[in-house]
Each structure stands twice: as structure tokens, then as C-alpha cells.
Structure 1
């Protein structure tokens, strides 16, 4: 699969013949092998013009922009090359038909819950017995039962919020590093290192999934769990619910428990917000990309990477919309 490029420095993106160069402030020029690039993540202050955007559009390269705090700002989403009127109609149909929308909202949430259960069971096997983790595990199982009887998307989201709160309450038992303590989830803005890690990791996952949706016939603007409204994209947020425990959370636990991210070295604070500094972001991105590249034995497809798995989840949804096979979220 094509690769991701991350730009942390300030500079200019420009087209040079049939390739793209990144010119740093000091005049250093770096060629970006555009034919092998799927997505560019921009963290620095970068200038670019219409000519290079037209080239990205031609090559189907997405750009995702992050502000100085590492918070997601927006994306350049090239004109869709894979258009399918039938799929668009089916996506709209499954949104307007409330029973069909509710089914998908439940399935995305169910996938997230089951992957949380799998994560907690893995930690219970590896660590000494923990009554608190066992209690959290039973609570998430209870939320799964409640989810089955939910009658509205709003009810699904309420159950999801309760489960997330209960899950996050167990994080201090999953974290083995005295420098980190997690009190509660705070997003806008994150106010401590663990919240900063969650927000940054989730943002990377959202746009990684968006890049995979672009390579399918699906329209990312139509979501089912997350309301389709004035926000640009919703479907990637839906699919991310399935993969947060598998990818983002496991990367965070690994970084903290192995001492690769340090509370006193890799974060900055400013007027009520905490965020990863540039060194911290690079460390997180490195391990996030390693996780995406990690392969495992899929029960149907053999050896598959987690990055490939994101695309496969889109295809599963595609088949569901066409009535070929009911969507079931990945659990593993």
C-alpha cells in the first residue's frame, strides 16, 4: 500500500515538473516521491499554491492539516475518482430509513465495546488479578446487553458515553508509569498528558480512515452513529469507534508503559490546554505507523496489516449497503 508522509517543519510545497518538493525555510529542498504517497499529514506552517493542489488532485493525494497544538484542522480531499451513484443512493437510503441507520449505529458501537472487552481480557491475562479491571469488564458487557435493546441512535450514544466513562476509569490500572495519572476524559481542550495522547491518537485514526474511505465508493459525509450535519465528514468517525481500542489505545499504553513518552519531556501546557510537543508527536506517529504496518493472521484473508484492515472494513460496509452481506464489525 502507498505510504503516509508527515511534515513537521515550516516551509513550502511546490510542484516541480512531475514531482513535488518541500522547501524548508533555510532553502533545503526535499523531493516527495508522489507516486508512492497516499496521504500527507501537515503539522508545520506550510505554504502551497493552486498548481500543487491540482497535482495532488490529479494523483489522488489527501492532505490533512493540524494546528500548532497538533489538533486536526481540516483536509484537502481530492475530487472522488471512484464515483458510484448506486452506492450514494444506498448510503442515503440507510440514513433516511431509521431502522437501517440504527442497525449500523449499533454495530459500530458494538465493535468498539467488543474490542474494549478483548483489550481488558488481554491485560487481565498478562497482569496480576485486578478486581477493578474485572468490574470494568463486567460493566462493558452489561453495556453490550443494553445496546441490543436501544431504540434510538441517541440512546446508543448515551450508552456509548457511559461505557467510555467506565472504560476510562480503569486506565490507571492499565498504566504502569507513576508519571501519568488519568482522572477523566476531557477533549476540548485536553487538559493533561493522557487526554492529549487520546485526542492526538484519535485525530490520526480519523484521518487515516478518511484516506481509506477515499479509495472506495463510499461518501465520507454520510455517517450513521455520528450525525450527518454541517461537519465535513462523519463516516470516518463511525468506523473509528471500532478501531480506537485496537490501534490508538494500545499505542498509548505501549508508549507510556515502556517509558517512551515522558510526562516531563514530551508535553507543553498553555492556557488550560496540554498538548504533545514536536518530539512527542514524532514518537507517537512513529509507533502509530508501526501499529498500522503490523500484520496478523486474519481468519478469512490470511496475513493482513491493520492499515489494510481499515480499507477492508469499508468494503464490508459497502457490501452491507448493497444487501450482499450484513455488516459485522471487526473484533480482534
Structure 2
């Protein structure tokens, strides 16, 4: 938490949250974190923790809000001080914002991050992973996204290049894993199951930050529908924060006994799921997510520059 990001998330299980009139204290095992109480404007409690009434009382007296989330980062309820009003200016700015200005930047960054990831993998592969003309097509599509003037074209190119990206990734993986492309649930191969686990974690971390900044997670720019703004912001982050880790697991760490697949569904064994979750916690950079949310909030409120962090 910084002065420009006054929301404070507490993730996981087993933390103890208490407060004095001067500071908020979070104990997690042997780690103790202390924050000036007046600097905490929004406490975000994710998962299962012990929340002392001292923390509730002192935060509410100091004018802070407290929002509760399940372990997946979905908001389930909140506490507001008497007379508190959420920051309506942020929601109003979000409603007024022209979506194309933001959607174009987001779509360009998502494609660029995937191109960089593919080129990184190609440099390590020692063999050709692109079919004839694919890499040129993706570079051309990047230019078209940057020049696109309609939302329909932006969304079409985003879907097309995303599908191509996963098909190219499949050529890097052992064929016995059965991964051919990104598919919807229920998954019948372990790679799609690992992607979904990673994207769910990334979704939760981003949703928590958006709620902390009083942004509406369901009012997107590039995507539409429930969680659309979350999907907007995580698309450019997937390659670095999730895909690198999943591809490494699929190539180096997962064995035949680590998953069980049928015609209907593929299940990851507990051990490989635990190891993957641990690796993803290291690769998902909450500080960068918070910074990206701040950049978006400032761009909405003050018409400041909007740019996307993606590599």
C-alpha cells in the first residue's frame, strides 16, 4: 500500500487483523505488518482471517471502508462508517469514459505481451514453432489493432489473435497432454485446467484492487458483461503472470500421475495443484496490478495519460 493506492488487501487464510487508534496491525505467522490507521481508506479482506473488533471499530471511526471477498476474490459484502458514501466520482467518470480510448490500448498491450512471450519461447525451443506467415500475420494484426476505429474490429482481432496464440503455444507442449487450444469449462486436458486455475487467481487479485479503488468491475472497455473490466486489465498480464508458469509446469513439472482425465473433465492432483498455486503466487505481481488500477483511475478522474503495463 502506498499513498496513491490507499486500499489494503489481505489475502489467504489465518491472518490476525487488529488495530489501535493509531495503526492497523496484520499478523501472519511470524510476519507482522503495521500501517498508519489514517492511511488505510479501504481494507480488503480476502479469504479467512481473524478480524478483531478493535480493527473494525477503529477503521470505521477513521472513516475507512471494509470489504469482504471469498478466496477467489469475488466481493461478498462490506462495512461502511455511518454516513459514508462510496466515491461516486469514480463511477461517474467510468460511465462517461469513451471505451475506445482504453480498449485500443488494452488490446494492443495484450497482443504485444503475447508476441513477446512467443518470441521468448521460440528463442528457447531450438526449432520452428510458427507456421508459414503466422508471425507476420500477428505483427500485422498488432498494427491493425493500433489503427482500428471500431469496437467491433478491436474485439474481433483480439479474439482471433488470442486463439492463434494458444494454438502456437500448443506446439511447445508434449502431445500426450492433449492441449490443442484454449477451451471453455469443463476442461478435458491438464493444460487448460492449469490455465484456468492461474487466470482465476489473477482475476481475483485484480477484482480486489478494482473494488478497492471504487471502480465497477462489471463496466468494461474492451470486454462486456460480468467482470468485464477485470478481464480488460488481466488480458495484458496473462502472458507474464500466468502463462510462463503454466507452460513451464506443462513442459517440465507435470507427470502422468499428476492428473486424471476423462471424456467429461480433467482433474489435477492435489500435489501438483499446490505446487502450481505456490508458483503462481510468486508470479502474480499484486503491486503491478495495483499500479495499473491506479493508472486507470487517474486517467478516468483527471483525463491523465492511460498506458498499460504488460512486460
What range is the shorter-chain TM-score in?
Answer: 0.7 to 0.9
Q: Distance in 2 between matches of 1:114 and 1:147?
A: 10
Residue 203 of structure 2 corresponds to which residue in structure 1? 206
User: Whole-Å Cα distance in 2 between the matches of residues 287 and 134 of structure 1?
Assistant: 34
- The whole-number CA distance in structure 2 between the counterparts of 1:157 and 1:6 is 38
Is the partner of 1:60 in helix, strand or coil?
strand
CA contact (8 A) 1:120 1:137 kept: no
TM-score, normalising length: structure 2: 0.74
Once the two structures are superposed, what CA deviation does each residue of 1:27-52 show, in whole Å capped at 9, x if it has no partner?
xxxx977986955458xxxxxxxx9x
Gaps of 5+ in 1: 8-14, 20-30, 43-50, 67-71, 95-99, 293-305
Q: SS of the counterpart of 1:188?
A: coil
The aligned counterpart of 2:24 is none
1:244 to 207, 218, 238: 238
Q: 1:291: which partner in 2?
A: 283
Q: Deviations over 1:202-239 (max 9, x none)?
A: 11111111122233242323211121x4x3x3211110
The CA RMSD over aligned residues, in Å, is 3.5
SS at match of 1:78: strand
Aligned to 1:139: 137
Supply the distance in 2 between the matched residues of 1:217 and 1:124 (Cα, whole angstroms): 41
- Alpha carbons 1:267, 1:277 under 8 Å: kept: yes
* Residues 6-46 of structure 1: per-residue CA shift (max 9 Å, x gap): 59xxxxxxx99969xxxxxxxxxxx977986955458xxxx
Query: Closer, same or farther in 2 for the Cα pair 1:183/1:134, shift >3 Å?
Result: same
Residues 90, 214 of structure 2: 8 Å contact kept? yes
The Cα of 1:135 is off from its aligned counterpart by 4.5
Normalization by structure 1: what TM-score?
0.70
Alpha-carbon distance in 2 for matches of 1:193, 1:17: 37
Report how far residue 92 of structure 1 moved.
0.5
CA offset at residue 167 of structure 1?
0.7
How many residues get paired? 274
Q: Offset of 1:163 from its aligned partner?
A: 0.4
CA deviation vs aligned residue, 1:62-92 (integer Å, no higher than 9, x gap): 43356xxxxx9x5425357893222211101
